[in-house]
Amino acid sequence: MSKKMTKKKIILLGGAYPQIPIIIESKKQGYHVITCDYLPENPGHKLADQYYNISTTDFEGILSLAKKEQPELVVAYASDPAAPTAAYVSEMLGLPGNSYQSVKLLSEKDLYRNFLLQNGFNTPNYVSIIETDRLIDKVKNLELPIIIKPTDSSGSKGISIVNDLKNLSETVDRAYKFSRNKRIIAEEFVDNEICDVHGDGFVIDGNLVFALLGDHIYNKISNPFNPAGTYWPSAHKEDLIDSIMNETARIIKLSGFKKGPVNIEARINSKGNIYIMEIGARNGGHFVPQAIQYAAGFDMVKATIDVLNDKPINIPQNSKNYSAYYALHSDLGGTLVNLSFADELKGYIKEFHQYISFGDKVNPFLGAGDAIGILLLSFDTREELTRIISTLDQSIKIALE
């Protein structure tokens, strides 16, 4: 039998541009890499050893593939929709990973809100909606404005704010277009006077052993709920960040999630109350793990595989740099003609990942999938970070026609 045939195998759910780092790391660790999704043109598949055209949300399709290929690991990297699939298949086949129930709990917004409520955590008032519900009756006890969300989508897709109930049906219909399970959540808007907190963490034996939280950068024009970036570490007071981490750690412990990366989003309302809005059972998208590595020195991509193999995880303790990711985007649609960066900005760019080629279509920045590309920035001081982040709109020129 050839050496190639005896290689250990890994199935990676997704081959999109931001998922390339886990493909590269898997090959570096000696795996025969099998990628799958329903987009054969995704660039990661060219780096894999094999590709299957199976949706990452097709539980039985991926299970059948795993039974055929007999991998050592099935991993969902930087993908909310794929995380339950990886957990389900791994559990069914006795492979390393988290329980399907713990990942499902963190991945479906109505289940997560109910869990928070039952365990005494802050959560906005909410209702879950299915297609047979009478909408007005369902939301009559909620205080406007309310946020409408698909319970099982990601990247800010299908999220709308309702200030007048005459717009409720339209916004719910829009959310259904992005929901596979056809459940929508309507929840009261959590007012916030300061930017939302966002970052990645890492869990070992049910304990949150690492987290770096930063502050979201928002574009208020295209979609106020779709972040255009994050910078690390957060500018909030240390005791506030510690409180967010403590609440997150408690949620993770109670959820039954045992090992691997998590993506954290939190909001602080005008009264100073902390809401852990989401904990994704996966790495952050848009190269968030790489941006965090520039700030904290922790290689979460390697750790994502190592923790499943029960290898020691090296978490640096003293790295205190500053970093950011920023999604290049346009408020208008068109064809991408040119991109340019100011000279001062160029000095802080560590990586530039261009998703959309010149001559290709650009959509308005309504969701994470509408990004033109991603900048990873690194800074030596908080002052540098603050200055550069505040001038990004002037430092980046995007030409469309």
- End residue of a domain, out of 188, 209, 226: 188
CA–CA distance, 353 with 347 (Å, rounded to integer): 16
Tell whether 67 and 171 lie within a shared domain: no
pLDDT band, residue 23 (cuts 50/70/90): very high
Tell whether 84 and 168 lie within a shared domain: no
For 188-203, the pLDDT digits (tens) are 999 887 769 999 999 9
Question: Across the chain, what does the average pLDDT equal?
Answer: 94
Determine, yes or no, domain membership for 29: yes
Tell whether 143 and 269 lie within a shared domain: no
For 81-137, the pLDDT digits (tens) are 999 999 999 999 999 999 999 999 999 999 999 999 999 999 999 999 998 888 889
Determine, yes or no, domain membership for 3: no
Residue 221: per-residue pLDDT: 73
For 275-307, the pLDDT digits (tens) are 999 999 999 999 999 999 999 999 999 999 999
Alpha-carbon torsion, ordered 66, 72, 74, 75, to 10 deg: -160
- Which structural domain range is residue 349 located in? 197-400
Residue 218: per-residue pLDDT: 83
Tell whether 172 and 205 lie within a shared domain: no
What tokens appear for 314 in the block? 């090296």
Determine, yes or no, domain membership for 120: no
- End residue of a domain, out of 162, 188, 214: 188
Residue 5: per-residue pLDDT: 57
Determine, yes or no, domain membership for 351: yes
Tell whether 307 and 374 lie within a shared domain: yes
Instruction: Give the closest residue to 263 by CA, choosing from 176, 381, 368.
Output: 368
Tell whether 23 and 51 lie within a shared domain: yes
CA–CA distance, 225 with 366 (Å, rounded to integer): 9
Q: 63: domain CATH number?
A: 3.40.50.20
Residue 134: per-residue pLDDT: 87
Q: Are the CB atoms for 212 and 290 separated by under 8 Å?
A: no
Residue matched to tokens 């908080």: 382
Tell whether 243 and 175 lie within a shared domain: no
Whether 215 has a pLDDT exceeding 60, the answer reads yes
Whether 6 has a pLDDT exceeding 80, the answer reads no
Residue 154: per-residue pLDDT: 77
Determine, yes or no, domain membership for 51: yes
What tokens appear for 12 in the block? 């990676």
- Show the CA angle centred on residue 253, arms to residues 249 and 256, nearest 5°: 140
Whether 173 has a pLDDT exceeding 70, the answer reads yes
Q: 173: domain CATH number?
A: 3.30.1490.20
Residue 266: per-residue pLDDT: 96
Instruction: Give the closest residue to 353 by CA, choosing from 401, 306, 285.
Output: 285
Tell whether 150 and 18 lie within a shared domain: no
Count, residues in the chain: 401
Q: What are the backbone dihedrals phi and psi of residue 187, each rounded to the nearest 5 degrees, phi first? A: -140, 150
Tell whether 160 and 261 lie within a shared domain: no
Q: 300: domain CATH number?
A: 3.30.470.20
CA–CA distance, 50 with 45 (Å, rounded to integer): 7
Tell whether 23 and 53 lie within a shared domain: yes
Counting the structural domains of the chain, the total is 3
Residue 2: per-residue pLDDT: 46
- End residue of a domain, out of 167, 188, 209: 188
Tell whether 275 and 372 lie within a shared domain: yes
Neighbours of 117 (CB within 10 A): 14
Determine, yes or no, domain membership for 102: no
pLDDT band, residue 204 (cuts 50/70/90): very high
Determine, yes or no, domain membership for 119: no
Model's pTM, two decimal places?
A: 0.94
Tell whether 174 and 300 lie within a shared domain: no
Determine, yes or no, domain membership for 44: yes
Residue 386: per-residue pLDDT: 96
For 26-72, the pLDDT digits (tens) are 999 999 999 999 999 999 999 999 999 999 999 999 999 999 999 99
Instruction: Give the closest residue to 146 by CA, choosing from 155, 157, 135, 154.
Output: 135
Q: Are the CB atoms for 230 and 199 separated by under 8 Å?
A: yes
Greater confidence, 172 or 220? Answer: 172
Report which listed range, 159-168, 216-225, 259-268, is most confident. 259-268
CA–CA distance, 278 with 280 (Å, rounded to integer): 6
Kindly state the average pLDDT of the residues 237-255: 97
Residue 1: per-residue pLDDT: 40
